[in-house]
Chain A
């Protein structure tokens, strides 16, 4: 028996909302970033799965994932640079200390 598509999608959904949970609850900015990576990965899996199961003759999902990985790498590098910069200023990476953007 073939593996049904829905199995993949359920896995990626769980992964995605685990990322949401982590993003909302973690205080450490690096941990938040890690949660973000989880969400991105879940989306990537979805692209690939849809490509394979729904449009097997095309390569859109494949390339989208490829580019998403590239962009994720860039985004992570930049985010980490920002976080380290923040760390230099306030000697920690606690997101609760970054509330200057309020009213």
Chain B
């Protein structure tokens, strides 16, 4: 019963992701593209939840959906007028894009479908939520499989990014 519910939920999420992804890149209104992106991000967060990575889902919602999309919306409002529509694509350009994406999808899909993955059954290990304590220790530890160095590197990167953002965007 639970499994069926799981499958139904996955089916819904997959549908949202596929449809909204395609709509994101095909809609002519830029604000709508941002909105569809928001839906995709929500659905991605749902997938994380479904895989029992609740912390990651939360981060996805907070950073992506809550932060980045808001940034997008603001910048879209800054740079375009309401009701602006993108020009229709020229056939040549559409063909070029379609070639790249469909050919790529075929190549990747073929690889994925033919590659022998050795999946382990999910039940073989403890499923369920990962302990927050464990995540915290892993982030701040210096042992093997612990991530203090990347954590610090990313904090420096973020600092650089803040300064860079100010430098680039400020009025001269």
Contacts and interface: CB of A to CB of B under 8 A. Distances in A.
A3 B7 CA distance: 6
B109 A56 contact: no
Nearest to A9: B112
A69 B21 CA distance: 18
A34 B34 contact: yes
A20 B63 contact: no
B21 A53 contact: no
Given A70-B158, A78-B161, A81-B169, A21 B101 contact: yes
Given A63-B147, A82-B168, A87-B79, A18 B22 contact: yes
Interface string A20-49: 111011111011011101100100110011
Given A21-B100, A82-B168, A30 B51 contact: no
Interface string B98-111: 10111011001100
Contacts of B94: 25
Interface centre among B21, B108, B118 (most CB of A within 10 A): B21
A100 to B, nearest CB: 17
Size category of the A interface is 35 or more
Nearest to B44: A41
B79 A93 contact: yes
A66 to B, nearest CB: 6
Query: When A and B form their complex, which 5 residue pairs have the shortest distance between CB atoms, in order from nearest?
Result: A22-B25, A74-B161, A21-B101, A18-B21, A25-B97
10 contacts: A7-B10, A10-B109, A17-B102, A21-B97, A38-B40, A59-B134, A67-B154, A73-B67, A85-B169, A87-B79
Given A37-B64, A37-B68, 15 more contacts: A14-B18, A18-B101, A25-B94, A26-B86, A30-B72, A34-B72, A38-B21, A41-B64, A54-B119, A59-B134, A62-B135, A63-B150, A73-B63, A76-B72, A78-B165
Interface of B: 3, 6-7, 10, 14, 17-18, 21-22, 24-26, 30, 33-34, 37, 40-41, 44, 47-48, 51-53, 56, 59-60, 63-64, 67-68, 71-72, 75-76, 78-80, 86-87, 89, 93-94, 96-98, 100-102, 104-105, 108-109, 112-113, 117-122, 124-125, 127, 130, 134-135, 138-139, 145, 147, 150-151, 154, 157-158, 161, 164-165, 168-169, 171
Interface of A: 1-3, 5-11, 13-22, 24-28, 30-31, 33-35, 37-38, 41, 44-45, 48-49, 52-60, 62-63, 65-67, 69-78, 80-85, 87-88, 92-93
